[in-house]
Structure 1
Amino acid sequence: MITQSTAGINVSVECVYQPEYSNADNMHFMFAYRITIENTSDYTAQLISRHWEIFDSIGEHKQVDGEGIVGEQPILQPGQSHQYVSGCNLKSELGYMEGYYTMMREIDGKKFNVNIPRFNLTASFRLN
């Protein structure tokens, strides 16, 4: 698990290769990731949007922007956490993702970005 903290918001990521949904002959490699967002600050914050940078070892680079996460814009009170699972497919067995969430403090409406730590997307057969 990889964790990064920004402005009292911790983001932890776990990633797993999904061989049952992958097909190397068709250049389709599927990865699932679980993200936990924990509010360790003194204020309530809402996740407004996400920005992903996705890199594939064959040289492809994608950016993905959107509202919320998996259809939600969770509000986190101090001490609360939110967890979700999503996925990413690549055309090769190696890559990585990183990005940020845009959050908004409830008390004053101020928006700020929370870093999502870079995590590797590596097919299990590539590991020694």
Structure 2
Amino acid sequence: MQNSPFNPSLIGVSVVTTFLPTHSNPEDNHYTFAYTITISNASDLPVQLLSRHWKITDANESVQEVRGEGVVGEQPVIAPGDSYRYTSGATLNTPLGYMEGSYYMVVREPMDMAPEELPTFEVPISPFTLHTPTALN
């Protein structure tokens, strides 16, 4: 893989989080959250999400790191002006925490070349909060 001159700021990442009380058990310090992420491509080129890296931190400063190919079993190609949305989840030992990370992407042009032969770039994902409805009161 080679570094790309592509401007990663042309890729937008927005997040909406939800506490899942039916999948949680506070008595056992088990708090489950869903997060829905929308990745938008404001560039003139198609891009493909190859892998992700997450740091998930709870209120006790316990950190889980997650690395893997794609997201929810996919390595989506996002056309210029288009977006891709997915929902996943995380479990914390506290009612409050945050996630941050990055996506590793490739400019997917030309489409007939293998992704590992194309320029790659990293899209940082700013920290976002995971919290129960009463954790921030």
Q: Report the TM-score when normalising by structure 1.
A: 0.92
* Contact 1:7 1:41 survives alignment (8 Å): no
Larger proportion of strand = 1
* Equivalent position amino acid for 1:110 in 2: P
- 1:59-101 CA-to-partner distances (Å, cap 9, x unmatched) read 2111100000000000011011100000000000110000000
* Equivalent position amino acid for 2:47 in 1: A
Q: State the shift of 1:126 in Å.
A: 1.7
Q: Which runs of 5+ in 1 are unaligned?
A: none
* Equivalent position amino acid for 2:85 in 1: Q
Picking from 18, 22, 40, the partner of 1:20 is 22
- 1:47-69 CA-to-partner distances (Å, cap 9, x unmatched) read 00000011011221111000000
Structure label with greater radius of gyration: 2
Query: For 2:102 and 2:136, how far apart are their aligned partners in 1?
Result: 27
Q: Which secondary structure does the structure 2 equivalent of 1:125 belong to?
A: coil
Which residue pairs with 1:106 in the alignment?
Answer: 108
Aligned pairs for 1:63-82 within 5 A: 63-82=65-84
Q: Identity over aligned residues, as a percent? A: 45
Runs of 4+ in 1 over 2 A off after TM superposition: none
Which residue pairs with 2:125 in the alignment?
Answer: 116
Q: Report the TM-score when normalising by structure 2.
A: 0.86
Residue-pair matches, total: 124
Q: State the shift of 1:36 in Å.
A: 0.2
Aligned pairs for 1:30-109 within 5 A: 30-107=32-109, 109=118
Query: For 2:59 and 2:43, how far apart are their aligned partners in 1?
Result: 37
Q: Which runs of 5+ in 2 are unaligned?
A: 1-6, 111-117
2:10 paired with 1:8: yes
